[in-house]
Amino acid sequence: MYVTEAMMGTLTEANNNAANFTRQIKLMLETDARMHGLELDRRNSPWDMFNELQEHLATIAPDTILEQQQHMPPAPMDTAPIDAEPMMDTAPIDTPIPTTTNPDVIVHTEGPLAP
Does residue 105 form part of some domain?
Answer: no
In a domain, 52, yes or no: yes
The count of C-alpha atoms lying within 13 angstroms of the C-alpha of 38, restricted to the half-sphere facing its C-beta, is 23
Helices (H), the chain: 5-35, 46-59, 62-70
Judge whether 65 lies within some domain: yes
For the chain, what is the mean pLDDT?
A: 76
Could you tell me the residue range of the domain that residue 28 belongs to?
5-70
Position 80 in a domain: no
pLDDT in tens, 19-58: 999 999 999 999 999 988 899 999 999 999 999 999 998 8
pLDDT at 36: 87
**Number of domains making up the chain:** 1
Rounded Cα gap, residues 60 and 36, in angstroms: 9
Torsion (CA) 47, 50, 51, 54 in degrees, nearest 10: -160
Q: Judging by beta carbons within 10 Å of its beta carbon (0-12, 13-18, 19+), is residue 32 exposed, middle or buried?
A: middle
98 in a domain, yes or no?
Answer: no
**Is residue 10 in some structural domain?**
yes
25: in domain: yes
Q: Report yes or no on 75 lying in a domain.
A: no
pLDDT of residue 96: 58
